[in-house]
Structure 1
Amino acid sequence: MMKRLAPVLAGFVLTAAPAPALADPAGLYCIDDGNSFLIGRPAGSAAFEVRITSWQGMSHCGIEGTANTTTDGWLLENHGCKLQLREEGGAIALAASPREACAPFCGARANLNGLTFPPSSRVTANPDPSLFARDLGELNPC
């Protein structure tokens, strides 16, 4: 009996634990009472068009571009600023570097680092296409 079960159990172990899928940034996410948002939509098989705005007090950050899939999330590169979007506990967390290349996208006291968009902040999975046609500074989708 044990000889017959071993191949079945081995097959189960190999197929029962697929690699966890990363959440994708498709949709409209609103945090900080609507003062910060992330809008994403697919842009091919391994990329997302992403637009991010964050008002932090009187200072603002705004960046947009195509985020390409990496081994641990997505990477948006805009004029030397590398913005990583990673899944952390189901949320999309941002990390921007190097500081000097990312600084022009933010006002004096604002920062993209540490912005986190939890799953509960997802307003819709399919944002209105007009949100990608208008100037980033004119958007207030939340």
Structure 2
Amino acid sequence: MTKVTVPNAVTGDSSEDAVSLDKTESSPQQAVAVGGDHPKSKSEPFISIEDGVHTIHGVDCIWHNMYAESTFTTFRWISPYDDIDSMLIKVARNVEQGLYSIISMSASKHSLTVVCACEKNWEDLPVGWYCR
């Protein structure tokens, strides 16, 4: 089995977005990708490939802040237990609370990219703002 570890939350530049591979004995038809440091990620993967059929759970979310003076620039979070509908509701709640405004947004079944304008610095954002 091949395990791919993807960090749940990545801040900063793209050098921190690296995906590490921990290879063990595998067949091409067995792979499991787990969501980093989430406590259930090892037992309930958001991506599993068995017998060549993909079963994908969760959403890979990326926020790009276009407000240059903020220390919040780019943030990535992989939500293994949400679907795209619940993530869109969470983004709407963030906008409603005034955390940021949306410049552009792209969404598919398992991917969400939000280009936003947020005047707040990273340390001024509430803890867990991305998953409320």
The two structures share one fold, judged by TM-score above 0.5: no
Question: Which TM-score band applies after superposition, normalised by the shorter structure?
Answer: under 0.3
Q: Structure 2 length as normaliser, TM-score?
A: 0.26
Q: Which structure is larger by alpha-carbon Rg, 1 or 2? A: 1
In proportion to residue count, which structure has more helix? 1
Q: Structure 1 length as normaliser, TM-score?
A: 0.24
